[in-house]
Structure 1
């Protein structure tokens, strides 16, 4: 339990920036199983090349940027779409194997698998008959 937690202080800063239109705080779901923690992040419009995932000092940082491509020589008559940025940070427990984190982006949904270190995985111990 509590293998990963959203950082509340940074979340508050990001929420303030989101209201100003510069940064969106993407919604997440976090699931845990015996050997890993799974994070699902909704980042519509973000492409793989616009995504950055880093772990530094047990803090997982996710940033994604939406690029709106405008064809050359054409100017917008009316435009509601604009470049946006997503940002979210999480504190990782010492039980997460940060070197083995996997990420997959598909249709604007980022899925992260954060494996637990072997020493922290629960396992069944077989009792031998004497």
Structure 2
């Protein structure tokens, strides 16, 4: 991956009864992401607490990887919020994939609020050993 584009946003705690502007309340925070390389693949880990596979969309279009979704939080029955920083919100992250990534072979799984994308390299970009023959 050679470029990351992210929406910039500030984190604003919400207190019940506060009158923050609509744009502040609805602003989506981009999820934090770590990217690692291991052998013939890159691994992207995104912190997505409260996100289910059904509320997550992952697409590749013209070497652009898009993660979009919604954090859906429900108020526990019988409780009233006094102070709430965590709230339901939409989010999006986009990444430009390098030419070495095989976008047809990307795999995704989400477990315990962490999205794991495996981004394998194309065979032509994988390291291989060349056998030396005796003449």
**TM superposition score normalised by structure 1:** 0.81
2:94 aligned residue: 89
The question of whether the paired residues in 1 share the 8 Å contact of 2:9 and 2:29 is answered with: no
Please give the root-mean-square deviation of Cα atoms over the aligned residues, in Å: 2.2
* 1:16-35 → structure 2 map (5 Å cutoff): 16=9, 20-21=24-25, 22-35=27-40
Residue 77 (1) aligns with residue 80 (2): yes
Deviation at 1:4, TM superposition (A): 4.2
Q: 4+ residue stretches of structure 1 with deviation over 6 A?
A: none
Range with bigger deviation, 60-69 or 90-99: 60-69
1:49 aligned residue: 54
Unaligned runs of 5+ in 2: 13-23
Q: Give the paired residue count.
A: 121
Higher helix share: 1
The question of whether the paired residues in 1 share the 8 Å contact of 2:42 and 2:118 is answered with: yes
1:39 aligned residue: 44
Instruction: Point out the structure with max Rg over C-alpha.
Output: 2
Q: Could you tell me how far apart the structure 1 residues matched to 2:11 and 2:60 are?
A: 23
1:15 aligned residue: 8
Deviation at 1:33, TM superposition (A): 2.7
Q: Could you tell me how far apart the structure 1 residues matched to 2:59 and 2:111 are?
A: 19
Q: Decide whether aligned partners of structure 1 residues 30 and 84 sit closer, same or farther in structure 2, where only a CA change above 3 A counts.
A: same
Deviation at 1:70, TM superposition (A): 5.0
1:5 aligned residue: 3
Secondary structure of 1:25 counterpart: coil
Q: Could you tell me how far apart the structure 2 residues matched to 1:68 and 1:43 are?
A: 12
2:119 aligned residue: 114
Unaligned runs of 5+ in 1: none
